[in-house]
Amino acid sequence: MGKFTAILFKEMKDLLRDPKIIVGMVLVPLILFPALGLMFRTGIESVEEETEKGTGTGIIDLDNGPYARAFTQALENDPGVNLITLTTTDVTAAIETAESNDMRVLMVIPEGFSDNIEQFQGAQIEMYAVIKGMGIGEIVSVSMVDEIVGRVNRELSVTMIREKIPGADPVSILNPVTTHSHTVVKGKIIDVPPALIIDVINSQSFIVPVILMMMILFVAQMAATSMATEKENKTLETLLTLPVSRMSILAGKMGGTAAISVISAIAYIIGFSYYMSSFQPQDISLELADIGLSISPVGLGLLGISIFMAVLAALSLAMILAVFTQDVRSAQSLVSFTIMPLVFPALILMFADINTLPTVLKIILLALPFSHPTIAARAVIMNSYGIVLGGIAYQAIFTLVVLYIAARMFSTERVVTAKISFRKKKKKS
């Protein structure tokens, strides 16, 4: 086994046996994310269950006219409503009944309701929402009533048009103008509204920056910890006097951390995908492939390289920073303070396209190696490989410069003598 591989395997073994690394690598992504997702899913399902049951709605008809009956009939036919007709005419008593019978809404159709509609004067019903708890499900089911009233209104309008203008098409009168949306993507006309396509692209490019941010911070911490542990446990001095080049030591340590970070990346992607799927309604099946926007193998490869380069940049930066520290805690603090401000700006790209941003912000984002995978995630969907390749080239130059500095520092005594400590100094008594 070569000297480089000896360091590489030692590094991997050492990291894999560290309980802290296992917690960060397995527990967080593979257990915590799905657990969080499960919690959200359970919450969403309870809301859906509440909605499926139909909103318990009491109704008092003080009008008894044809439109009041049509209104009640429409409500009865609506699957979102569980209608209970009350015989009392006393609203206060009806509210009490609603409260004690688990009704969420009470509607009162006043006298003259049908006459007003008949005379095109518009009519009003009194609606009382009964809130007992503050659960999301309860609030959603109450707010659903507005939607239901909208649907019922439309049905009443259709009935009126049929009665008043025999032979006319009620739908054409209610919506004299309609649109049929098409979207042009990459010169191809797709019969899907643009909003839907943008939603799909956004949901695809949302996952990259979030996973990347978590991964970069984790990998940087891991690299810094690996180097700082050598210093804290006093193993670095021995390592530096072995008959092996300093570059091999640096490369072996980085390689070991990078290998573990690949395992970690897979765990994060699995965990986060499960987490994200908790929010997606199961019946939405529009995929990028369906609208001709699937990522080609070349695009996928380029995105992978871009992500890997960002990880490599984080590793090299963390190694340099860790060289200056004396212990693990100081290394982790220094890395967090330094890497976080470099990673967070990329989150802007979750909400905005790089080309729509002010020039200064655009330059800052392009100068950061961690923004490029997010830019690449969108660009590969559109087959715009130029910007992706440019980004990878920039990341490569950035990483090489940082690696060169790291190698220079490793070949001098600075690796032994540099000292930054965030630990509180003990007061001398």
Interface residue list for another protein (CB under 8 A) = 1, 3, 6, 10, 13-14, 17-18, 233-235, 237-238, 240-245, 412-413, 416-417
Q: Judged by CB, which is closer to another protein: 242, or 397?
A: 242
Q: Judged by CB, which is closer to another protein: 361, or 416?
A: 416
Q: Judged by CB, which is closer to another protein: 191, or 413?
A: 413
Collapse the DSSP code of 326 into the 3-class scheme (helix H, G, I; strand E, B; otherwise coil) and give the result. Answer: coil
Collapse the DSSP code of 422 into the 3-class scheme (helix H, G, I; strand E, B; otherwise coil) and give the result. Answer: coil
Q: Judged by CB, which is closer to another protein: 84, or 251?
A: 251
Residue 329 CB, shortest distance to another protein, in Å, is 16
Cα dihedral across residues 382, 341, 367, 300: positive or negative: negative
| Euclidean distance between CA atoms 235 and 221, whole angstroms | 19
Contact at 8 Å (CB) between 290 and 51?
A: no
Q: Judged by CB, which is closer to another protein: 17, or 424?
A: 17
Residue 401 CB, shortest distance to another protein, in Å, is 24
Contact at 8 Å (CB) between 105 and 128?
A: yes
* Residues in a beta bridge with 126: 108
| Euclidean distance between CA atoms 77 and 71, whole angstroms | 10
Instruction: For residue 170, give Cα distances in angstroms to 121, 122, 204, 214.
Output: 19, 18, 41, 55
Six-digit token string for 39: 């919690």
Residue 328 CB, shortest distance to another protein, in Å, is 12
The phi, psi pair for 84, rounded to 5°, reads: -125, 115
Residue 242 CB, shortest distance to another protein, in Å, is 5
Closest listed residue to residue 273, CA positions, set 11, 37, 20, 10: 37
Residue 211 CB, shortest distance to another protein, in Å, is 28
At a CB cut-off of 8 Å and minimum separation 6, what does 68 contact? 61, 109, 113, 114
Closest listed residue to residue 266, CA positions, set 29, 5, 16: 29
Q: How far is CA 424 from the centre of its chain?
A: 38
Contact at 8 Å (CB) between 299 and 394?
A: no
Six-digit token string for 175: 């919506």
Residue 408 CB, shortest distance to another protein, in Å, is 13
Residue 246 CB, shortest distance to another protein, in Å, is 9
Q: Judged by CB, which is closer to another protein: 7, or 60?
A: 7
Give the Cα-Cα-Cα angle 197, 200, 205 (nearest 5 degrees). 125
Six-digit token string for 184: 């042009």
Residue 219 CB, shortest distance to another protein, in Å, is 19
Residue 224 CB, shortest distance to another protein, in Å, is 17
| Euclidean distance between CA atoms 37 and 237, whole angstroms | 46
Q: Judged by CB, which is closer to another protein: 172, or 233?
A: 233
| Euclidean distance between CA atoms 339 and 217, whole angstroms | 7
Q: Judged by CB, which is closer to another protein: 164, or 408?
A: 408
Q: Judged by CB, which is closer to another protein: 172, or 411?
A: 411
The residue type at 14: D
At a CB cut-off of 8 Å and minimum separation 6, what does 356 contact? none
Residue 330 CB, shortest distance to another protein, in Å, is 17
Q: Judged by CB, which is closer to another protein: 6, or 127?
A: 6
